[in-house]
Amino acid sequence: MSEQVHKRRVRYSGTHPRRYEEKYKELQPEKYAETVQKVLQSGKTPAGTHIPILVQEILDFLQIRPGQIGLDATLGYGGHTAKMLACLEGSGHLYATDVDPIESVKTTARLREMGYGEDILTVRQMNFADLDKVAPGVQFDFVLADLGVSSMQIDNPARGFSFKQDGPLDLRLDPQNGVPASQRLRQLRDDELVGMLQENADEPYAEQIARGVLRAYKQGGTIDTTRQLHDVVAGALSFLPAKERRDAIKKSCQRTFQALRIDVNSEFEVLYAFLEKLPGVLKPDGRAAILTFHSGEDRLVKQAFKQGMRDGLYSAVARDVIRPTAEECFRNPRAKSTKMRWAIK
C-alpha cells in the first residue's frame, strides 16, 4: 500500500492571501465558516462562492407551494435553488440546468449533501436555450433564470472572466465547447470588433480599442491572457486626460470583457431561444422570473414579455423592473446592476 503524500497548503506573503488559489479558507466554507462570515460582513463575496440576488423578491413573486414542479434554468452556485427547494417542503420536483461542467458538478454535490436527492431535484448539464428538452412533456409551475455570471467563475483566474488577476483569456461558460476569447479575438475583423463592442456593451471607445487590438497583432504581439487584453485597452485610451484615464480604462475593460463573453457564449442567441420557448413550458398561470445584468439583456426580456402579452401568451407582465434594495447592494456590491422582470402565463 503506497504511503499518502502530505500536501501542504499554498503559502502566501503578507498577513492576508491575495491570489485566488491562496484563499484556502474562503474556498472551504464548510471548514472555515467563521472566516467566510467575516468576508461577507465586510461586503465582499468569499472566493469560490456566490451570493444569490433578490432572493425574497423572487420567492414573493413565484409563490412556490409544496407539490409544484419548477425549473431553475441557471443553477450556478445553487443559492436560489436551495431556497426554492425549501419552499417545496419535500413535495414536488425542481429541475435545474447549467452549461458549466465544472461548477454544476460541485453545486449538485453540495445540494445532495443538504438532503436534496433525485426524488426532488434533477440537475442537467445543458444550455438553458434547450429548456423544452429538460423534461419533455412536463410543464412548469415556475421558472427562474439568473443571467449573471457567477462569482466563482469571475473570481477564478483560470476561467479568464476578469482582468483583476492574470489568466488565460478564455471566457467560456462551458470550457469544453466552442473557442476561447483569445482565439475569437483573432478571428474578428476591425469593423466586426467595433460592432461587437458597441452592440454587446455600448462601449464608447470601441473604434480606439479595435485599432489597439489590430495594432498589437500587426506588431507581432499576442492577446492570450486577461492582463494582455487589459494592457491593450489601457494603451488604446492613453489619449485621455490623466485625471480621467484610470476610471475610463477600468470601465472600458469591464465592457470589453463583457462584450467578448457575450460573443463567445452566443448569449443573446441563447436568450432569444429561451424567451421564445418559455411560454410553451409554463402551465396556465405559471410564473417566470428573469434576472438581467446589463441593458442589452433587459431590453430583450422586456420586448419578449411585451410581445407575449400582445400575442395572448401571457396574462400579465412586469411594467417596471424590480431592483435590489440599497441594503442588499451594500452587502453584495455585485447586485447593483441587477434588474428583475416577470411574466405570468
User: Domain holding 231: CATH number?
Assistant: 1.10.150
- Answer yes or no: do 59 and 97 share one domain: yes
276 and 260 in a common domain = no
Considering the domain architecture, whether residues 329 and 243 belong to the same structural domain is answered as no
Domain boundary among 264, 297, 332: 264
Residues 277 and 338 in one domain: yes
258 and 118 within one domain: no
Examine the fold and report which residue of 247, 264, 281 is the final residue of a domain before the chain moves on: 264
pLDDT per position in the chain (345 positions), as tens? 445 555 555 565 555 555 554 444 445 555 545 554 554 455 455 555 658 899 999 999 999 999 999 999 999 999 999 999 999 999 999 999 999 999 899 999 999 999 999 999 999 999 999 999 999 999 999 999 999 887 777 778 888 888 888 999 999 999 999 999 999 999 999 999 999 999 999 999 999 999 999 999 999 999 999 999 999 999 999 999 999 999 999 999 999 999 999 999 999 999 999 999 999 999 999 999 999 998 889 999 999 999 999 999 999 999 999 999 999 998 888 889 999 999 999
CA angle, residues 296, 133, 73, in degrees to nearest 5: 45
Name beta bridge partners: 339: 292
Domain end call among 245, 264, 283: 264
User: In this structure, what are the phi and psi dihedrals at residue 43, rounded to the nearest 5 degrees?
Assistant: 85, 20
- 50: cell is 456566490
CB crowding 174-193: b at 16 or more within 10 Å, else e: bbeebebbbebbeebeeeeb
Q: Which helix (H) or strand (E) holds 292?
A: strand 282-292
Domain range enclosing 297 = 55-151+268-344
Within a domain: residue 30?
no
- Strands across the sheet containing 316-317: 121-124, 93-97, 69-72, 140-146, 282-292, 339-344, 316-317
Same-domain check for residues 257 and 111: no
For residue 289, give the CATH number of its domain: 3.40.50.150
Q: How far apart are CA 98 and CA 339, in angstroms?
A: 21
Pairing type for strands 282-292 and 339-344 reads antiparallel
The answer to whether residue 332 is domain-embedded is yes
Same domain, 146 and 211: no
User: Based on the domain organization, do 59 and 145 belong to the same domain?
Assistant: yes
Q: Are residues 147 and 273 in the same domain?
A: yes
Residues 252 and 310 in one domain: no
